[in-house]
Amino acid sequence: MRKIDEQDILQRFQRPETKRAAFEEMVGAYSRQLYWQIHHLLQNHDDTDDVLQNTFIKAWRGIDGFKGDAALSTWLYRIAYNESITWLKQRRQMASIDDEDFVEQANFAADDYFDGDETEELLMQAVSTLPAKQRQVFCMKYFEDKKYEEISSLVGTSVGALKASYHIAVEKITNFLQLKE
Amino acid sequence: MSTKNNRILNPEGGRYPFKVSDEYFDNLTARIMAKVDEAEQAEDTYTNESPEKGAKLVSINDSNTRRNKRWLSIVSIAASLAIVATVALKFIPWAGNTAQPTDELVAEYTADDYNEALMTYTMADNMDVYCYLESGDDMGAEDAY
């Protein structure tokens, strides 16, 4: 991830002549990180691509209202998370499924972007059974090796709550794997 | 208990088993900016959309329109009331007959007429009436004690 000077970016957002260039710089700096964060929730490249674009369109429309109360990355992450949840709900509605806890049976072997073996496929199937928040926390911790403090500043949840979420997620995955034996 | 599947979860973490070509990320910023521009243009078109040439514009907040609406409602209420009153006078029998009983009518129906009708109804003759009146006087005297 490219490092950017948030204060500088925020100042450039204020001026119409520099706003677009500053936004483009922000997209370049955060798009890769956001792509994977959205992918953790949706687990599908095409959906992730669509939601990522929607996220930045929403960010562009809301940039004048962003006063820098939170970090730029946190603000973007929250837009991306909300967009992903909306997308998941729409997907569920299109499938005419009313059950909130419904879990789609992911077929990773047929996904061109999947790059794992059978064991990893099984693990991803277990991850796909988790609720959105737990899935997000588990992926950030397990696959990206992020510190709880880092995740906390990104998602706006306390470290204690994140630890609990991760613990529950690991338990659920373990149970899932035991059932698959 | 350590089984094969339990060992899938590595305490050290693992690799996220999805890949995306570098080309995708190389072009991503340009594609996103193109989408942002597209969305902004669509928004501008929507907000600045002008009406077709020659189209008649009617403002719902126009004061003339409001005044006309008020008159229309007053006239329609008055017409409704007139219709209801006409129907009531025509079809409801007691509605139109508001005349009070006259003095002649009252005078015709006297106390004698009432007593005569009462005696006929009870089949009583003059003797019965005298007896009744006498016993009434006696009872009144007893009540006095």
A37-64 pLDDT, tens digit each: 999 999 999 999 999 999 999 999 999 9
The 3 state secondary structure assigned to chain A is CCCCCHHHHHHHHHCHHHHHHHHHHHHHHHHHHHHHHHHHHHCCHHHHHHHHHHHHHHHHHHHHHCCCCCCHHHHHHHHHHHHHHHHHHHHHHHCCCCCCCCCCCCCHHHCCCECCCHHHHHHHHHHHCCCHHHHHHHHHHHCCCCCHHHHHHHHCCCHHHHHHHHHHHHHHHHHHHHHHC
Among A13, A31, A170, A176, the residue to mutate for chain B (most B Cβ within 10 A): A31
* Cβ neighbours of A31 in B, within 8 Å: 25, 28-29, 32
Which CATH code of 2.40.50.140, 2.40.50.100, 3.90.650.10, 1.10.10.10 fits the domain covering A106-181? 1.10.10.10
Of B13, B20, B32, the CB nearest to A53: B32
- For residue A35 the two structure tokens come to 């792509």
Task: Output A131-135 pairs: Cβ under 8 A, ≥24 positions apart.
Answer: A131/A101, A132/A41, A132/A84, A132/A85, A132/A88, A133/A165, A134/A165, A134/A166, A134/A168, A134/A169, A134/A172, A135/A40, A135/A41, A135/A169
Contact B18 A27 (CB under 8 A): no
Asked if the structure places residue B34 within a domain, the reply is no
> Architecture of A1-102 per CATH?
Orthogonal Bundle (1.10)
Could you tell me which residues of chain B have a Cβ less than 8 Å from any Cβ in chain A? 3-6, 8-9, 13-20, 25, 28-29, 31-33, 35-36, 39-40, 43
Q: What is the pLDDT of residue B145?
A: 41
Pick from A27, A121, A145: which is nearest to B29 by CB? A27
Binary contact (B29, A31; C-beta < 8 A)? yes
Domain of B126? 103-144
The ipTM value here is 0.84
Q: Could you tell me the pLDDT band of residue B42, with boundaries at 50, 70 and 90? A: confident
Q: How confident is the model at residue B142 (pLDDT cuts 50, 70, 90)?
A: very low
Residue B123 within any structural domain of the chain = yes
pLDDT of residue B143: 46
Q: Is residue B21 part of a domain?
A: no
The verdict on residue B122 lying in a domain is yes
Is B84 domain-assigned? Answer: no
pLDDT(B123) > 60: yes
Domain with CATH 1.10.10.10 in chain A: 106-181
Name the pLDDT band for A69 (thresholds 50, 70, 90): confident
Among A40-44, B70-74, B104-108, B114-118, the least confident range: B104-108
Partnered with residue B18 across adjacent β-strands are A114
On chain B, the residues whose CB falls within 8 A of the CB of A140 are: none
Whether B29 and A24 lie within 8 Å, measured CB to CB: yes
- Flag whether B43 is in a domain: no
User: How many domains would you assign to chain B?
Assistant: 1
